[in-house]
Amino acid sequence: MKLFCNSSSSSILLLIFFLFFSLSSSSNPDFETLLQFKKSSDPFNQTLVSWSNSSSSDPCSWVGITCNNERTRITQLVLENQNLTGSIQALTQLTDLRKLSLKNNNLSIPIGFSFSSWRNMKLLYLSRNQFSGKFPSGVSKLHRLHRIDLSYNQFTGEIPLAELIQLPNLLTVRLEMNSFTGSLTGIESLGFTSLIEFNVSRNNLEGQIPEIFSSFQDSSFVGNKNLCGKPLLNDCGGGSQSGGLNDPIPVLVPPRPKKVKKLSKKSLILITVSYVFLTVLMGFVGFLLCTKKFSKNGNQSNGKKSNEKKKMKSSGFEGKEEEGKMVLFNGCLDLSVDDLLKSSAELLGKGSFGTTYKVMMNNGVLVVVKRIRERKKKEIDGFLEEIGGLRHKNLSSLRGYYSSREELLLVYDYFSNGSLYSLLHGNRGLGRTPLDWVTRLRFASGVAEGLAFLHVANECRLSHGNLTSANVVIDRESNACVADAALCHIFVAPANVANNGYKAPELMHNAHNYRKLSQKCDVYSFGVVLLEILTGKMALHEGETSLAKWVQCVRREEWASEVFDFEIPRDKQTEDEMVCVLQIALLCVAQVPNDRPKMSVVCKMIEDVKTKGRISATFVRTADSPPSQLSDVALPTQNTSF
């Protein structure tokens, strides 16, 4: 009997043990959904390697996934630039999703796809994929939706504005670069009261733009040939202006001419002869004057032509198509040599490598053209093609270049929101709208991601070499984009940029010691940019002392009062996050290059601060500069649910 009891107890314990592990693997109902999505989007297990189908696997620890506090449901799925393929239909079963970002992949949707199951969705980013067909149904069910981005896809049909207008919290609608048709009319004037960003450019829309959209910039509607009305310049007609096609043709009754006395035949002959004589005489005198002037200034004509040519060159662009070549990279639209060389150019400033212009092309597209001062290498085509092939949301992409014997012009996108430098340091004082901490942290994360991508892209192992806050531009989506990437390797920068506060210590002794340019130097420069974001001060503090050295000398107890920018409104959580980012910055500006972390590690640390309010123990390490350990500022995990 005792033996039976022992055997029975063992069986029960074994059964409980089995049930426990079975329940643990199925405690998250989204587990099977994620595996189904992985099977279709990453069939060769090249990207989603951490997504394991093991029964003991915890999906909340997988790359790109965030769970709720109970770790029972998926609330965020962020898989950008992963080269994923296949359909996203399986993801509709993730009904607790607050954020879904699948930008820059090759994903698709089936016919009849619907958004209706994502009723908790707040942020929906699906741009730059292979989505086609009509606008998915069910968008009116997403009452918590803040932002939706379906740009750069292949959608057709009409835009369901009548459904979108029902969303009370909608802030952003981005549908540009698709093939949507129809009109924007029929929208109530009281709709879209919360909307701050709306873009339907480069579609096939027609008709008049409703008045509720007139406050947006014209860039939100360009590229729709049959669209008219404000803010576009083309008028829809039908007003009270004169000259319309339906205007009646006025009947003009000429006045009755007065009677004039006729001249005699003799008088007419005399007047004609006098007129002919005077005409011949004036022509002869003019001929003599022109001949004399030409002979007097003949020796100076070549000099004047040369001066005129120099003036043209200083105010715009000069060149002939047959003297050089134009190279365009993927994504550069409607750009020709003739347009580039003859377009009007507005001087933006002079940078480290040359002069920068804002150029309006004939098709209305604004671009930035950088005229290079001096080349370090004669054969640069291969290197420029390498840079031109880089594509990332946090990189200012090289769209093309024009090269001749005497001219080298680099073409980039134009960013109307300016640079990080101007946002941090421009017009400080009364009347200024300062950057809040959330925006600054997003900019810091964007610069880190762009730089990390540059360091590993295409196995090139490139370094930026001249990272500053002035070389960080802000796009229309408020993404921070790194500009002038890798130009230092082929172009000569002036010597006076050596002591600009961003250069790593190993570069300070020789401004042109390009052999020492490395990715560790970029990490140091990024650390200085982080300090600018935190302090609001320039890289050279008070004109002489470098910002990095000044911050390292401030005691930790004085950080909140001395180091952090007084313009940042902050509470306890914000201040804790700022302390974490300051720790990361101090690691980056370490004196010894090998003590600086890789940019990929820096990215993950900043992402931890954004999502958890602390730095994970994985990245805790000892730094030469105070504070000594990142663990000193580790904070409890914050609720990141949207």
Alpha helices in 172-240 (DSSP H): none
What residue numbers does the annotated binding site cover?
Answer: 370
What size, in residues, is the chain? 642
Q: Quote the tokens at residue 391.
A: 């594509």
Rounded Cα distance between 39 and 333, Å, is 36
Dihedral, 121, 123, 127, 131 alpha carbons, nearest 10: 0
Q: Mark the binding-site residues for ATP, compressed into ranges.
A: 370
Segment (H or E) for 148:
strand 147-149
Contacting residues for 81 by C-beta, under 8 A, at least 6 apart: 103, 104, 105, 392, 393
| Dihedral sign (CA 491, 495, 501, 507) | positive
Q: What count of Cα atoms within 13 Å lies in the side-chain half-sphere of residue 593?
A: 12
Phi, psi of 133 (to 5 degrees): 85, -165
Please state, in angstroms and rounded to a whole number, the distance separating the CA atoms of residues 581 and 532: 12
Element (H, E) at 454: helix 437-456
Decide if 138 contacts 119 (C-beta within 8 A): no
Dist CA 615 CA 583 (whole Å): 10
Rounded to whole angstroms, the Cα distance separating 155 from 165 reads 19
Q: For the chain, give percent helix, strand, coil, nearest 5.
A: 40, 15, 45
Please, what's the b/e burial string for 121-130 (b: 16 or more CB within 10 A of its CB; e: otherwise)? bbbbbbbbbe
141, 148, 143: which is closest to 178 by C-alpha? 148
587: how many CB neighbours lie within 10 A of its CB? 24
Residue from 436, 468, 438 nearest 451 by CA: 468
| Half-sphere exposure for 341 (CA within 13 Å, toward CB) | 17
Q: Given CA atoms 165, 166, 168, 174 in this order, what sign does their dihedral have?
A: negative
